[in-house]
Amino acid sequence: MSDFPYLSVLTAAPLVGAAVVALLPRSRPELAKRVALIWSLGVLVLAGATWVAFQPTGDTFQLRESYPWIPHWGVNFTFAADGIALVMLALIAVLVPLVILASWHDAERPNMRRSVPAFFALILALQGTMIGVFAAADVFLFYVFFEVMLVPMYFLIGAYGGARRQYAAVKFFIYALVGGLFMLAAVVGLWVVGGGTLDWQSLTQIDMSTGTERWLFLGFFLAFAIKAPFFPFHTWLPDAGGAAPAGVAVLLVGVLDKVATFGILRYSLPLFPEATLWFAPYVLALAVIGILYAALLAIGQNDLKRLVAYTSIAHFGFIGVGIFVFTSQAGTGAVLYMVNHGLATGLLFLVVGMLVSRRGSSLISDFGGAGKLVPVLAGVLLFAGMASLSLPGLAPFISEFLVLIGAFAVNAPVAVISTLGIILAAAYVLWMIQRTTHGPVNPKLTSMPEMKRDLSLREKVVVAPMIVLIIFFGFYPKPLTDVITPAVEATLTHVEVSEPADAPEAQP
């Protein structure tokens, strides 16, 4: 059973599903939804099997498969997963069925006549390309998925989004393409330096000159910084996240953006260790600025979806800090954060989407006292908010805590300034909740029958698993840390600062 090609099947399954759903007749939307949902549940089962097949104590890279692809360039279809990739694959597999269920009516809103099968086919296609990105162990293959991923997301935002969807979609695409093309130049450079191979494992063995390494690092980093997004490359995210349908936004900030931090861990650190160390102070500065700047902007937002998008940028700052202080504690925290952020911010996006679809507006000022009309929904919003500001006992707390103590050990100023971000997080979350669900009821809301409909069974089924997971991992993160920590430690050996005591030397 160990020879089963888990990763390639896991990548291909959603893509096949996308083709199947796309071919369903447009006149039968319900059928398309059901097929898509069942298919994504099948992918979830496959992902579960992959998780079981993975040995937490075994080699760093497991489930390796390799098929020749373009022998002329030494490019192969190589898949392999370490613990970091594995948890991301699991996160995708969990989120997509929930997103499909949450988006049940998103493609058929009254003012748009879009194809329903196409919407769900695009979500499955996005899932396939995202799995491919995390499963790839060949730089070329990674790049291919990295770029192709844009296409379904572009159509999801551009064709099914809210107001200003075209602007947001094009901005998203252009920003991502800018990063992608710089990465392409770096990939080509890597190919030349590597003597005609792009296999990850062989590339980690080569020595390159300092100058080359820094340039290549920059090429990759620029792509990742835009994708993540780090300050100051972040301006596309509030637009894209604000315009995307709620479910799509979950995939956008929950998974797609993680490709960047994953890429930094998988490619920047092992392939360009010296350059990573050299650039670390600057990246840390960007990350810290991002935490504070995005949190401040989040406080100032009057649009719910944009607000959540800004909180996400702030959280990415934490992940950046966790990676670039180079301690195994902080690194584990960062990867754990990648998962928890997917769950917490994902839940926040979904529940905000539910609120927004009832009101027909995403402006905070259009709400007020909504908790009296839809108490369960308001409760879930409060829970998601608490998870987002890292309340102890909920999953994000552990990751944030790990990042901060890991950072404190080697770089106290960064840790202290980042801690300010937590305070700001409390401010934007609590103030947002206060203005939407608490206080006197906005008279306009009471006249809207939609606003009196609390969570439906479908919506409860969507949020319940996420709530359960957030609480579960809040108390018992061991299943995740067991697979993450060895992978993070193996990654950090490339920059040769796995112990906090050595780390200060990393600062030039």
Rule CB under 8 A: which residues touch other proteins? Answer: 69-73, 143-145, 147-148, 150-151, 155, 158-159, 165-166, 169-170, 173-174, 177-178, 181-182, 184-185, 188-189, 191-192
* Residues whose CB falls within 8 Å of the CB of residue 135, separated by 6 or more in sequence, listed in order: 7, 8, 10, 11, 79, 80, 81, 85, 89
> What is the nearest approach in angstroms of other proteins to the Cβ of residue 181?
5
What are the DSSP E strand ranges found in 108-214? none
> What is the nearest approach in angstroms of other proteins to the Cβ of residue 272?
17
Nearer to other proteins, 49 or 185 (CB): 185
> What is the nearest approach in angstroms of other proteins to the Cβ of residue 148?
6
> What is the nearest approach in angstroms of other proteins to the Cβ of residue 274?
20
Contact 301, 241 (CB under 8 A): no
269: left (phi over 0), alpha (psi -120 to 50) or beta: alpha
Q: Report the C-alpha gap between 420 and 506 in whole angstroms.
A: 24
Element (H, E) at 87: helix 83-102
Nearer to other proteins, 165 or 227 (CB): 165
Contact 349, 308 (CB under 8 A): yes
> What is the nearest approach in angstroms of other proteins to the Cβ of residue 362?
20
Mapped onto helix, strand or coil, the DSSP state of residue 237 is: helix
How many C-beta neighbours within 10 Å does residue 195 have?
Answer: 10
> What is the nearest approach in angstroms of other proteins to the Cβ of residue 70?
5
Nearer to other proteins, 171 or 258 (CB): 171
How many C-beta neighbours within 10 Å does residue 109 have?
Answer: 14
> What is the nearest approach in angstroms of other proteins to the Cβ of residue 218?
12
Strand 62-70 to 75-81 pairing: antiparallel
> Which residue in this structure is represented by tokens 């839809």?
374
> What is the nearest approach in angstroms of other proteins to the Cβ of residue 123?
17
Nearer to other proteins, 185 or 448 (CB): 185
Q: In the 8-state DSSP scheme, what is residue 136?
A: B
Contact 334, 323 (CB under 8 A): yes
> What is the nearest approach in angstroms of other proteins to the Cβ of residue 186?
10
Nearer to other proteins, 188 or 289 (CB): 188
Nearer to other proteins, 144 or 284 (CB): 144
Nearer to other proteins, 176 or 325 (CB): 176
Nearer to other proteins, 69 or 431 (CB): 69
Q: Report the C-alpha gap between 135 and 96 in whole angstroms.
A: 17
Nearer to other proteins, 136 or 294 (CB): 136
> Which residue in this structure is represented by tokens 């972040």?
234
Buried b (16+ CB within 10 A) or exposed e, 24-55: beeeebeebbebbbebbeebbebbeebbebbe
Q: Report the C-alpha gap between 113 and 238 in whole angstroms.
A: 26
390: left (phi over 0), alpha (psi -120 to 50) or beta: left
Nearer to other proteins, 134 or 293 (CB): 134
Q: Report the C-alpha gap between 335 and 485 in whole angstroms.
A: 9
DSSP characters for 418-486?
HHHHHHHHHHHHHHHHHHHHSSSPPHHHHT-GGGG----HHHHHHHHHHHHHHHHHHH--HHHHHHHHH
Q: Which residues pair with 65 in a beta bridge?
A: 79
> What is the nearest approach in angstroms of other proteins to the Cβ of residue 501?
39
Nearer to other proteins, 58 or 110 (CB): 110
> What is the nearest approach in angstroms of other proteins to the Cβ of residue 120?
16
Nearer to other proteins, 170 or 405 (CB): 170
> What is the nearest approach in angstroms of other proteins to the Cβ of residue 371?
37
